[in-house]
A and B are shown apart, each in its own frame.
Chain A
């Protein structure tokens, strides 16, 4: 491995091809549609619309990736979102709750739904697939019961969370001031984080990263930020960065931190990577599973409420097919089908891929049925790629980019161990029946 390729690997966060290739794919998709639609894809109005329209995928993907890492899945998110949406809408229409209180109610309802599903998954040990399939039916029905199968409009004081923007202030430069400030804050944070990470690595005594890696990464990220800042700041008058974008952004930051740096986050990966080993290491896997199910439903509640705000009404068919959007985003974003692998950041990239695909194709005037077919193929290709990677032993990015001469060495040590005579009696000395550990 050359220095360059090592650098490339650190640049991609050491995760190799999977995530990196998704970023490339995302950029490629955006560029292709940008050209194809004659520059309309990256038009401020379209981008702002997209954020408002598809932010639900981002929010759901966060919860979904955590569940999938732990080896579960949630098929009920669309129905739960719709149920919470109608409860919130009705609470304002019938009980005249103020918007803030209605949102709080929405979160509580989401938590209760999550506790219900978590109970079955974690304590009765019904597979999440079944519990949430039931939940999909139950909460879709509940939505129609609460809303009498009709749409319930929501007041403007509420719709702000779905279709609002950062309020403008200060002198008029022709740009949206709050968006510019937000952009600056993000850039400052990026630089601070890069410096902080470099310091941490040095203190860990790890080989210091080449400076060019940091510079390239910073330039790329800041470039994207600046570009996005101007996009959002130059929309039509009265627009700026959407509130839903802020909500999604904060959630992404918080959950990235939770999954990567907390004890709870480690436990999620442990349960998904090897549940038996996790239990034998003192992880309370039931608690982890319960919290994850509950968390997913709370995030579904947020997604549902944001969506209702943007649509200005809660309807009986809200959230149809959302679970598939979220699951697709997670797998496109590099999570493994069998659990234990995945990141929030990756899933967000996956969500962007799915959103830009849907948006670009519909901008081209493609029929919704064709959009659906193409998105399905993309999902299949992404997961097939993941499976292929697994069977080949993960190839390095560079190895693949430079023609794939270097095949991974087969792991002979493992075979040798299995081949040892004592292993042949059956790998274990005592016949311990395979029973679930918790």
Chain B
């Protein structure tokens, strides 16, 4: 039964308006193997799996999918499910208020004459839980379980549907070491009993351990498929495949003029807001100098945003310890207002949910983080508001008919410029930029890079968080790497390269270059 492919995807191309997400991607999955897909954030891994599972129905992509020897054309996920393909997404699709049993059979209830057969359900639930090695009362509510156990419930749910091909999207991202271990053992066990699995993971050590073959995707294209069983594939080999593109001159020139250290965070420790067993920042320390652009590299879930937001007025998680030192003196910042008063600014990762009030006009949004600056006795000076907004509109070349235009009508790049204007108006000394170019087209990106460089040239300290390694390498003076809530390394940009960064982003081991 080995060697016969269960799945072949040929020449898959998926376009979105203005973007080609997948371009002529092909991959072959052999029956009974664990097949890993690796690639940077945004390489197109999840898109490929959505094409496979019918989230993007037949007709919205090009290419063909051969499954169990026949071409399949799924028009929704129900069809792929009944064909035996189950996908377990990063965000779990369980209902927290319902019990394990209820969740397991949601939509597939075991019923007799229209009423649920609880006896049969319970019995089947116990069988399934045994299969995944989860020893919990089937009546337990999902919300009483940790993420790791919830993940197992998801897998049990898939098993109930008689799955032949199990797809796991970043299954261990939120799990601790022991839970990850259990899950991977489980996968190996399923493999022995003939199931095929596709594993998407950023944790290359895990991939290396359990996968039989690895398909590497980069920028929406298949780069290569590595046969792990043949030997000779290690993490470095995978990383080379993932990042092996050249750095084009996509970044404006800049001569850094770096001053003294003015902002320092020491031993920063933060607990997850709901799960007290998880630390999202573990004893992290870093510093920023005037005029310096400091990059933060890390994979999804590594804790970059958590670090940034918790430093910015403790707006994320529960603060456990650590201090902020500004200009040589420790300062207490317990809310966002104080953070802004102490010269900090934070351009959030998600401008639509955290960065902007989409009901605002351009001018209202521009001044919204520091209204005091243009008001007297609590009354806003609308003339000044207009003038300032107009100034920024011209300086940042925000494409809006006027500053009275609603921000919801602007394109992503222009919205991002408005957010930048809003924080520039607060006149920060330290500006944290969290994925400032996400979802923005190339031209607007270049303009935003220019703005960032100008801010640095004015002597502001910039923290640049990005998932795109070329961006970090092209823009930063110094780069910290974060892995699982810990700072694993710091490199001057000229000594860093994608491979060395990726190593520190995927494990706590240090690279050779690190002095």
- Give A residues with C-beta under 8 Å from B: 14, 200, 203-206, 261-267, 269-270, 273-274, 276-284, 340-341, 411-433, 435, 437
Instruction: Give the residue name and chain of the A residue nearest to B409 (CB).
Output: A411
Sample (10) of A-B pairs whose CB atoms are under 8 Å apart? A206-B386, A269-B364, A277-B356, A281-B422, A416-B19, A422-B439, A429-B349, A429-B465, A433-B274, A437-B315
Query: In the assembled complex, which residues on chain B have CB atoms less than 8 Å from the CB atom of A429?
Result: 41, 300, 304-305, 349, 435, 438, 465, 467
Query: In the assembled complex, which residues on chain A have CB atoms less than 8 Å from the CB atom of B43?
Result: 421
Query: In the assembled complex, which residues on chain B have CB atoms less than 8 Å from the CB atom of A341?
Result: 359
Q: A263-B375, A422-B467 are in contact. Are A431 and B301 (CB under 8 A)?
A: yes
Q: Which of these, B19, B380, B383, contacts A266 with CB under 8 Å?
A: B380
A425 touches B41 (CB 8 A): yes
Query: In the assembled complex, which residues on chain A have CB atoms less than 8 Å from the CB atom of B435?
Result: 428-429
From B130-138, B228-236, B332-340, the one touching the partner chain is: B332-340
From B44-52, B77-85, B108-116, B207-215, the one touching the partner chain is: B44-52
Q: Mark B355-385, 1 if CB is under 8 A from A, else 0.
A: 1111110001000111110010011101100
Centre residue among A204, A265, A282, A419 by max chain B CB count within 10 A = A282
- Give B residues with C-beta under 8 Å from A: 16-19, 21-22, 41-47, 50, 90-91, 173-174, 220, 272-274, 298, 300-306, 309, 312-313, 315-316, 335-337, 339-340, 346, 348-350, 353-360, 364, 368-372, 375, 378-380, 382-383, 386-387, 390, 402, 404, 408-412, 422, 435, 438-440, 465, 467
B353 touches A276 (CB 8 A): yes
B300 touches A425 (CB 8 A): yes
Q: A205-B390, A416-B17, A430-B305 are in contact. Are A340 and B357 (CB under 8 A)?
A: yes
Q: Which of these, B17, B274, B301, B364, contacts A430 with CB under 8 Å?
A: B301
Q: For the complex, give the distance between the alpha carbons of A341 and B364 in Å.
A: 14
| B47 → chain A closest CB, angstroms | 5
B371 touches A266 (CB 8 A): yes
Q: Which of these, A270, A423, A424, A432, contacts B357 with CB under 8 Å?
A: A270
A284 touches B304 (CB 8 A): no
Instruction: Give the residue name and chain of the B residue nearest to A276 (CB).
Output: B354
A14 touches B378 (CB 8 A): no
Q: Which of these, B16, B50, B340, contacts A282 with CB under 8 Å?
A: B340
Q: For the complex, give the distance between the alpha carbons of A365 and B301 in Å.
A: 68
Query: In the assembled complex, which residues on chain B have CB atoms less than 8 Å from the CB atom of A427?
Result: 350, 439
A422 touches B357 (CB 8 A): no
B439 touches A417 (CB 8 A): yes
Query: In the assembled complex, which residues on chain A have CB atoms less than 8 Å from the CB atom of B50?
Result: 424
Q: A261-B380, A263-B380, A415-B17 are in contact. Are A282 and B46 (CB under 8 A)?
A: no
Query: In the assembled complex, which residues on chain A have CB atoms less than 8 Å from the CB atom of B298?
Result: 430
A284 touches B337 (CB 8 A): yes
Q: For the complex, give the distance between the alpha carbons of A432 and B310 in Å.
A: 12
Given contacts A424-B44, A431-B301, 17 further A-B pairs with CB under 8 A are A270-B357, A277-B356, A280-B315, A280-B336, A280-B354, A281-B340, A282-B335, A282-B370, A340-B359, A412-B17, A420-B42, A421-B47, A422-B467, A423-B438, A423-B439, A430-B298, A431-B300
Query: In the assembled complex, which residues on chain B have CB atoms less than 8 Å from the CB atom of A206?
Result: 386, 402, 404
Q: For the complex, give the distance between the alpha carbons of A274 and B372 in Å.
A: 20
Query: In the assembled complex, which residues on chain B have CB atoms less than 8 Å from the CB atom of A431?
Result: 90, 173-174, 300-301
A419 touches B19 (CB 8 A): yes
Query: In the assembled complex, which residues on chain B have CB atoms less than 8 Å from the CB atom of A284?
Result: 335, 337
8 shortest A-B CB distances, which residue pairs? A419-B16, A422-B42, A273-B357, A430-B305, A281-B369, A421-B21, A274-B357, A282-B337
| B298 → chain A closest CB, angstroms | 8
Query: In the assembled complex, which residues on chain A have CB atoms less than 8 Å from the CB atom of B335?
Result: 282, 284
Q: A341-B359, A416-B16 are in contact. Are A428 and B383 (CB under 8 A)?
A: no
